[in-house]
Amino acid sequence: MTTHQKQIKYVSIVLVCIFLLIALFPIYWMFNTSLKSQFEVYQRVPTMFPKQLSLDGYRYLYSRTPFLRSLLNSFIVGISTAAFSLVVGYPAAYALSRIKFRGRMVMAKGVLYTYLIPTSVLYIPLFMLVSKADLSDSLLGLILIYPTFTLPYTVWMLIPHVGSVPKSIEEASVVDGCTRIQTMLRIVFPLAKPGIISTCIFAFSMCWGEYLYALVNISSSASKTYTLVISGLVFGDIYPWAQIMAGAITACLPILLVYMFASKFLVGGVTAGGVKQ
């Protein structure tokens, strides 16, 4: 390695470390704030480290609010919506990617345009739909609503992942006697699994942090998601930042665990050597 190449390598490492610190600083500041007292939070000069560690924000959040239950509610809604989006979206993406029929490109673009529709224009009609279905103020109502933005996203993202699987592998499976459905489930699905898992994670994330739909449709304490509980900590112009940041830090943990658990499945290159030349 030449001297110039070493210099480029060291500069790259330094830049990566700087950008990493910039990216992680907001998370550190949330954690730092969650360990401060209310008095220290509102001091004129902010402190980089708590002068005196305080867990009052966590104690209040866990014991005086339905936050832990709301985390479970958010997890149930997120997992259910992501699973439904996959069950419906994967066959749709496979059909749009692999099956040639009239209007296929129009339908594919229609999926994209549906995803690009602003969610704010759907609040009233979706609220009316849920109310007429007698599912208002329930988790099932949110599970019915959230696929309106996760399903188009899932279909649109899975189309290129399904298309990346070599057609020669499918043709070989047909020669071996597989039907179209068997090929879709037993051949293409495992090979496209990294893209499918990453898409499901993002669909889950979209539901996990959603606030406005939950605000419009949920009012009872038993059905609230964690975003509603955190926003409910604010009274007028009083912001209990220690409690809010404690909720934000706690809410980061489940989605972090999901990413860590799924990371071992996000391995590309599984189709290499799948068919002999």
Write the CB contacts of 17 (distance below 8 Å, at least 6 apart in sequence): none
SS3 37: coil
Q: Which of 180, 183, 185 is nearest to 169 (CA)?
A: 183
How far apart are alpha carbons 182 and 180 in whole angstroms? 5
How far apart are alpha carbons 61 and 247 in whole angstroms? 7
Domains with residue ranges and CATH for the chain:
3-56 (no CATH), 65-232 (1.10.3720.10)
Task: Report the Cα 229 to chain-centroid distance in Å.
Answer: 19
Specify whether the CB–CB gap between 200 and 274 falls below 8 A. Answer: no
Per-residue pLDDT in tens (0 to 9) along the chain, 277 residues:
677 788 888 889 999 999 999 999 999 999 999 999 888 888 888 888 888 888 989 999 999 999 999 999 999 999 999 999 999 999 999 998 888 888 888 888 888 888 888 877 888 888 888 988 888 889 999 999 999 999 999 999 999 889 888 888 888 888 888 888 888 888 889 888 888 998 999 999 999 989 989 998 998 888 999 999 999 998 877 889 999 999 999 999 888 888 888 777 665 444 443 444 4
Predicted confidence at residue 266, as pLDDT, reads: 65
How far apart are alpha carbons 186 and 189 in whole angstroms? 6
Q: Which residue has the tokens 């993202």?
A: 157
How far apart are alpha carbons 25 and 20 in whole angstroms? 8
Residue 258's CB is within 10 A of a number of other CB atoms, namely 19
How far apart are alpha carbons 149 and 119 in whole angstroms? 8
Residue 101's CB is within 10 A of a number of other CB atoms, namely 8
SS3 48: coil
SS3 53: coil
pTM above 0.95, yes or no: no
